[in-house]
Chain A
Amino acid sequence: MADNNCARIVELLSDLLSRELTPEERRAIDQHCAVCPECENSRRALHAARTLLREHRPDDDAVPGDLRAALHRRLIEERAAREKEAKRPLFGRPVRALLGAAACAFLFLLGYLTFTALPEQTAEEGVVLSRSVVNAKEPLTIRLTYTAERPLADVAVTIRLDDGIVFHTDDTRFRDLREYEWKGALKAGTNEIPFVVEVRRTGTRTIHTTAEFDGYRHRHDVDLQADGETITVTYLSYGKRPI
């Protein structure tokens, strides 16, 4: 039969999982539970819960093998999606990515020179930084590699396509774009801007780029010589000139 000590006993029992009760407290619980089935059941339930916690082993919660397998599959998919995203044309990506990627000084792929290393004046023919041959049937990925020795403010980068070259993108904002200009700041270090173009005519055409900062205009071109089967890609530097 319950008595008016139930509230006090329940309070003591609430501490059963939290701390060791004193001998006096245990005696009070014993005396009360002997005449109160309700509190006795509470005590038995708490003892059972405490035993369950004590018998539980940390390794009982080890990550199941099927979760690891499922995670493995999802990570592979995630990585593939990232790689696919990286191959998408620059102008087909969110503007945020576009601006972030453009925030750097630049050189073309394989042309690992810093702007400060460029001569102030070069021949009109330009200096060949690299040359490669690619399949004309596939869209062509251009990777602008931007390297700056220090953060640079107020940089303007312009990319202009000759006729017969288009940006390869599903984004209607950029599909028919012939020229793109970005203005912003550069961070120190090396960065890449990949974008994808399609060469729709044979012959030699050019992607013209300029970057303006520190009172100079830096010019780099990508010459594309297409014969229908292959495209010879030549990266050229024209150095820098005072603006």
Chain B
Amino acid sequence: MAASVPFSEKELVARARRGDTAAFEELVRIHGTKLFSFALNLAGGRRDLAQDLLQEALLHAYRGIDSFRGESSFSSWLWPILRNALLRHRERTEAARETPLAKSDAVADGTLPVEAGLIREERFGHLRALVSRLSVEDQEALTLIDFQELPFEEAARLIGIPVDTLKPRIFRARQRLAELVMKHKDLFL
């Protein structure tokens, strides 16, 4: 039996533009991990919120897929759309004081209870809560370089900036994260 040949990304995009939802879902499967990682960082590690954010952002992208002209890769086109959609959502929820970043706010106030023997996942959640306090540009860089371990070239292409711009940005993002970790060091001891 002949093995089925997967569609190229270009073919998937063409199908998605014609309304093929399965093709769009396949594109999400291909790029989903990077996207969800970014949503998790933006949501301070809260998976339920990250899921809601990403779902809304992806629907936004699906509705606007007709604007994709194929002049760049699909992921390069998709990334800023998702970044802006996630950012708008965060601004709305923060403005409405329905903040999904309650954990982060608590961290910023130093009021989170410190439990002895925090398991790794909990500590990692605290780390993400701190990451969510950074600027979106810093979160973006940390997500792609430190959380997703992408090469600089690929991360820079995705964000749409030169590698020479990304390198100092990730350096400063790590410094700012380190400053936050030191400020809230009790969470990690």
Interface residues of A (CB under 8 A from B): 10, 13-19, 41-42, 44-46, 48-49, 52-53, 55-56, 58-59, 61-64, 66-68, 70-72, 74-76, 78-79, 82
Contacts and interface: CB of A to CB of B under 8 A. Distances in A.
Given A41-B185, A41-B189, A52-B124, A14 B28 contact: no
B51 A66 contact: yes
A195 to B, nearest CB: 21
Interface of A is mostly: helix
Interface of B: 19, 21, 24-25, 28-29, 32-37, 40, 47, 51, 54-55, 58-59, 62-63, 120, 123-124, 127, 146-149, 170-171, 174-175, 177-179, 181-182, 184-189
A46 B178 contact: yes
Contact of B182 (A19, A46, A70, A71): A46
Interface of B is mostly: helix
B181 A49 contact: yes
Given A14-B179, A68-B25, A63 B123 contact: no
19 contacts: A14-B179, A17-B175, A18-B178, A41-B185, A42-B181, A44-B185, A49-B127, A52-B123, A55-B120, A58-B37, A61-B36, A64-B36, A68-B25, A68-B29, A72-B25, A74-B59, A75-B21, A75-B25, A75-B62
A157 to B, nearest CB: 24
B177 A49 contact: yes
B25 A71 contact: yes
A52 B148 CA distance: 13
B120 A67 contact: no
B29 A61 contact: no
A17 B188 contact: no
B21 A76 contact: yes
Contacts of A79: 19, 21
